Amino acid sequence: MTSPDSGPDWAALAEAFTPRRRIFVDGDWRDAVSGETFATVSPRDGRVLAEVARGAAADVDAAADSARRAFEDGRWSRSAPAERKRVLLRLAELIERNGAELALTDALDGGKLVAETSTVDVPGSAAIVQWYAEAIDKLYGEVAPVGPSALATVTREPLGVVGAVIPWNYPLEMAVWKLAPALAAGNSVVLKPAEESPLSALRLAELAVEAGLPDGVLNVVPGLGVEAGQAIGLHPDIDAVAFTGSTEVGKLFQTYAGRSNMKQVWLECGGKSANVVFDDVEDLDAAADLAVFGFLACSGQVCSANARLLVHRSRHDELVALLLDRVAAKVVGDPLAAASTMGPLVSAKQLDRVQGYVESGRREATLAFGGARLHTETGGSYQEPTVFVDVPQSAAVWREEIFGPVLAVAAFDTEEEAVRLANASPYGLAASVWTDDLRRAHRVAGRLDAGTVSVNTVDALDVTVPFGGVKQSGYGRDLSLHALDKFTSLKTTWIQL
Ligand code: NAP
Ligand code: MG
């Protein structure tokens, strides 16, 4: 369904939307062992999109068994890297070919702008699958310099069964960040998508089988965190968990591992990234454009969102004025409407949470813009972009991850103070620095506690560079060849000659 110049007719496609809604195990669909379901709701209008099978411990057992059988018989784990490449390249192609459906799925299920899911999430996901597909038959092992009496090789082996537990902000992309390197390396996977947005991962699993992935290698168990998520964490036969989500739940996965089989736990957790703007920046318009992008992309529901803006006092008023102009121009609305430039939050619950922070911000800082709930008549979860200025370090809106379209602004006087303020956080996922002084850029980037520092941009991200945090933002890296570190173990083989 395409109209001549404006692409797909999203509203019409939404009317006909019929998502997969059952558990995917061993290449086939099944209901939960309990027979129960849960509702996934669209934050676009608060309506139930689908009743989805509510996977729990018994379903995770079945998925892990299927994954283990597939791993042990070598149907994928011992296939030639060139064969894995072929299948994953075909999956990348199928993601693109089914792009409109996948883009619509995340727009309806997660409330993301379809203009973004169709141009960023879907092509980005296809590109990541393609990248790992192309990488996997170009990785060589090592021969250790042990001398003439032995041959010692160091090779990368798949771990076995990998559990992946992911959040709702980039449902398709987060699944792909875990699946692409895990599968490329030869592992089997049990994936639990977020309760708020389970639908695109189910379709992705079906596409993977269509691409030629053998049955049982990828299993998807939708369900609740406290049920299916915990069952993955505690499972005695899952070798590693790759988690993206909150710091609080990340810590639970560490305890699950300790209480069960000491599985490896890789954590991509929360953030409260600082965006530091120095007084020497000539192009303050660019800094304002990207500061707005940095806290409003995906309605602010981004782990690396630039939620704290630190501006040199001499440029503070000027930058805040430029920024507020841009924030005021945002059109918050239906994620399927071409006019919308910001969609709803993922759920009514998330909107209540953000509103709680707006209330505390009103008491602890100065509200410069926004704060309201919008479009309540639609039944959707719409929040006005919100900016607080003169925010003290003690304020909750300065310290805590809000995961919504809320910016906290503060002024600084010296470089030393800027670095100290930026680093005064339990998180260390990302940071941005704006300066026209190369020496300062290099010096400050080196001192910031962050997995990624973007200079004269925000949130720099690409499949070629590792992404992940320090401190309580977690450890381990997604993307790039470094992601393979968490989905493989090094095997030393020593042959005495
Ligand atoms: P979350 O509540 O931590 O949930 C993440 C996943 O864990 C979901 O699948 C969730 O299931 C599951 N889960 C929840 N409680 C659990 C439990 N007790 N045991 C086992 N699993 C459990 O996070 P979220 O609200 O979905 O996402 C927002 C958070 O993700 C933010 O903190 C954000 O910073 C972080 N995030 C980090 C990155 C990164 O790369 N660092 C990227 C994106 C998001 P349910 O859906 O059923 O709750
Ligand atoms: Mg939903």
Spacing, Cα 438 to ligand 1 middle (Å)? 37
Instruction: State whether the beta carbon of 270 lies less than 6 angstroms from ligand 1.
Output: yes
DSSP class of 55:
B
pLDDT for position 168: 98
Active site residue 268: yes
CA neighbours closer than 13 Å in the CB half-sphere of residue 225: 18
CA neighbours closer than 13 Å in the CB half-sphere of residue 318: 14
pLDDT tens digits for 378-413? 999 999 999 999 999 999 999 999 999 999 999 999
Out of 249, 263, 452, 471, give the residue to mutate to test ligand 1, the one with the largest number of ligand atoms within 8 Å of its CB: 249
Spacing, Cα 469 to ligand 2 middle (Å)? 27
Separation of alpha carbons 159 and 262, rounded Å:
13
DSSP SS3 for 49: strand
Average pLDDT over residues 257-285: 98
Separation of alpha carbons 136 and 89, rounded Å:
11
pLDDT for position 336: 98
Structure tokens at 57: 């411990």
Query: Rg for the chain (alpha carbons), in Å?
Result: 23
Alpha carbon of 348 to those of 135, 195, 225, 409: distances in Å? 41, 14, 18, 26
Spacing, Cα 380 to ligand 2 middle (Å)? 11
Within its chain, how far is the Cα of 331 from the centroid? Answer: 24
pLDDT for position 7: 83
* Confidence class for position 6, pLDDT limits 50, 70, 90: low
DSSP class of 216:
T
Structure tokens at 334: 């239906």
Instruction: State whether the beta carbon of 383 lies less than 6 angstroms from ligand 1.
Output: no
Average pLDDT over residues 482-497: 98
Separation of alpha carbons 12 and 3, rounded Å:
11
Share of the chain above pLDDT 90, in %: 99
**Contact in structure between 194 and 249 (CB atoms under 8 Å):** no
**Contact in structure between 117 and 123 (CB atoms under 8 Å):** no
Spacing, Cα 114 to ligand 2 middle (Å)? 14
Full DSSP string of 289-304:
HHHHHHHHGGGG--TT
Q: Whose CA is nearest to atom 42 of ligand 1?
A: 303
Instruction: State whether the beta carbon of 173 lies less than 6 angstroms from ligand 1.
Output: no
CB neighbourhood size of 447 (10 A): 17
Average pLDDT over residues 331-356: 98
Separation of alpha carbons 376 and 260, rounded Å:
45
pLDDT tens digits for 125-179? 999 999 999 999 999 999 999 999 999 999 999 999 999 999 999 999 999 999 9
Instruction: State whether the beta carbon of 128 lies less than 6 angstroms from ligand 1.
Output: no
pLDDT tens digits for 139-148? 999 999 999 9
Separation of alpha carbons 431 and 297, rounded Å:
16
pLDDT tens digits for 182-221? 999 999 999 999 999 999 999 999 999 999 999 999 999 9
Q: Whose CA is nearest to atom 22 of ligand 1?
A: 225
**Contact in structure between 483 and 466 (CB atoms under 8 Å):** yes
Separation of alpha carbons 189 and 202, rounded Å:
13
Q: What's the mean pLDDT when you consider all of the chain? A: 97
| Biggest CA-to-CA distance, the chain | 78
Helix (H) or strand (E) holding 408: strand 406-412
pLDDT for position 201: 98
Structure tokens at 128: 């990541």
Out of 165, 197, 246, 473, give the residue to mutate to test ligand 1, the one with the largest number of ligand atoms within 8 Å of its CB: 246
Tell me how far apart the terminal alpha carbons of the chain are, to the nearest angstrom.
Answer: 67
Instruction: State whether the beta carbon of 252 lies less than 6 angstroms from ligand 1.
Output: yes
Active site residue 269: no
Instruction: State whether the beta carbon of 307 lies less than 6 angstroms from ligand 1.
Output: no
Name the catalytic one among 116, 227, 303, 415. 303
DSSP SS3 for 481: helix
**Beta-strand pair 406-412/386-389:** parallel
Spacing, Cα 167 to ligand 1 middle (Å)? 5
Q: Which ligand is nearest to the CA of 195?
A: 1
Nearest to 366 by CA among 397, 394, 386, 391: 391
Instruction: State whether the beta carbon of 169 lies less than 6 angstroms from ligand 1.
Output: yes
Q: Look at residue 341 and tell me whether its pLDDT is greater than 80.
A: yes
Full DSSP string of 173-202:
HHHHHHHHHHHHTT-EEEEE--TTS-HHHH
26: CB partners within 8 A, 6+ apart: 62, 66, 215, 216, 219
Alpha carbon of 273 to those of 276, 324, 377, 470: distances in Å? 10, 20, 34, 12
Spacing, Cα 246 to ligand 1 middle (Å)? 5
Separation of alpha carbons 477 and 474, rounded Å:
9
Separation of alpha carbons 359 and 362, rounded Å:
5
pLDDT tens digits for 360-380? 999 999 999 999 999 999 999
Spacing, Cα 287 to ligand 1 middle (Å)? 30
Full DSSP string of 59-88:
HHHHHHHHHHHHHHHTTTTTS-HHHHHHHH
**Beta-strand pair 188-192/161-165:** parallel
- For residue 474, the ligand 1 atom closest to its alpha carbon is 41
Instruction: State whether the beta carbon of 165 lies less than 6 angstroms from ligand 1.
Output: yes
Instruction: State whether the beta carbon of 229 lies less than 6 angstroms from ligand 1.
Output: yes
DSSP SS3 for 388: strand
Nearest to 196 by CA among 106, 123, 104: 106
Name the catalytic one among 173, 268, 384, 415. 268
Average pLDDT over residues 351-356: 98
Domains and CATH numbers, the chain: 7-269+473-494 (3.40.605.10), 274-462 (3.40.309.10)
